[in-house]
Amino acid sequence: MKVVALLLVMAFAVVARSQNTINNYKYVLVPERFDIFKQDDQYGINTLTKDLLENVGFKCFMTNDVLPADVANNKCNALRAELVAKKKFLATDLSLVLKDCQGQIIYKSEEGISREKEWNTAYTEALKNAFVSLRGAHYKYDSTGAIQATQSTESTTPVPVAAIPATITENKDVLYAQPNAIGYQLIDTSPKKVMTLLKTSMPNYFIAENGVEKGVVFSKNNEWYFEYYKDDKLVSLKLSIKF
C-alpha cells in the first residue's frame, strides 16, 4: 500500500508538467487527398508534403502505402498530416497540422503565405513557407521521451506480487501503447484512450490511471498487470498490451 501511495504522489507531480511533442513520433501518414482539395495529390501537394516531412527527419507514408509492422499493428504510433487553408485577399495561406490518432493537435506550423497568381505555384510556395517553422523546431525522434519522474529519497522497490493477496481478473481486449513524453497512452481499437501510463525509475513498471482507478502497471512473467486498491483490497487486472 505504501508503494502504491508513493507512486501516486509521483504521478501527480509528473502529470503537472506532461506534454506530448512531435519528437515522440517516428512516422507521419499523409493522405492521398487533403480536405482542402477536390482531387488526389492536387498540384502535387500531397507528394510534396511527404517529401518535406522526410527532409525534416520523419519516416512518411501515404495512407495507401504498405506500412511498417509497428504502424500497421498500431496506427497510434504515427501522426497524421493535414493542411489548413485561410482565405486572404490576393494571397494563398497554408498551415501544416500534425494530429495523433485521437485527433489531438500535436503540432501546427506557422502560416505559409504566397502571393503568386498561379494555383500550382502558389500552393507549392505557401507549403514550403509553412515548413520553415517546422524546420526551426529541430525535430529529432526520441523513443524514450524527455521527461523523467523525479527520484524519491524513499525506496520505490515494488512489493512482490505474491506477498500481497489480490483478486485477479483479466481484460482480454488488446490495448495499444502510444508513446508520449512521460510514458504511454493505452488505446483500444475504437481508438479511445483507456489508460495513462507514467514512467518510473524502474523498467516495465508504470504509474497508471484509467479515469476511475489509480495504481500501477507492471510486467511479471511476460504478462502485464494493472493493480490498484478498492475498498482497502488489492485488485489485480491482467492486461493484453502491444507496445
> Are both 233 and 211 inside the same structural domain?
yes
What's 192's DSSP letter?
-
Q: pTM of whole model > 0.75?
A: no
> Are both 29 and 6 inside the same structural domain?
no
Residues 170, 230: Cα–Cα separation, whole Å: 16
Q: Cα angle vertex 155, ends 151, 161, to 5°?
A: 115
> Are both 99 and 13 inside the same structural domain?
no
Residues 233, 230: Cα–Cα separation, whole Å: 5
Q: What is the pLDDT of residues 38-48, one digit of tens each?
A: 999 999 999 99
Q: What is the pLDDT of residues 145-191, one digit of tens each?
A: 533 333 333 444 444 444 555 667 777 789 999 888 888 899 888 88
Compute and round to an integer the Cα radius of gyration of the chain.
22
Predicted pLDDT at 145: 53
> What is the domain extent for residue 82?
22-136
Per the structure, how many domains does the chain have? 2
Residue 190 lies in a domain: yes
> Are both 169 and 122 inside the same structural domain?
no
Q: Which residues pair with 226 in a beta bridge?
A: 217, 237
3-state DSSP of 44-58 = HHHHHHHHHHHHHCC
Q: Which of 69, 104, 136 is the last residue of a domain?
A: 136
> Are both 35 and 128 inside the same structural domain?
yes
Residue 168 lies in a domain: yes
> Are both 109 and 167 inside the same structural domain?
no
- Hey, what long-range contacts does 57-62 have (CB within 8 A, 24 or more apart)? 57/139, 57/140, 57/141, 58/25, 58/26, 58/27, 58/28, 58/139, 58/141, 59/26, 59/27, 59/28, 60/27, 60/28, 60/29, 60/30, 61/27, 61/28, 61/29, 61/30, 62/29, 62/30, 62/31, 62/32
Predicted pLDDT at 211: 86
Q: What is the pLDDT of residues 212-222, one digit of tens each?
A: 899 999 998 88
Q: Residue 117's domain is classified under what CATH number?
A: 3.40.50
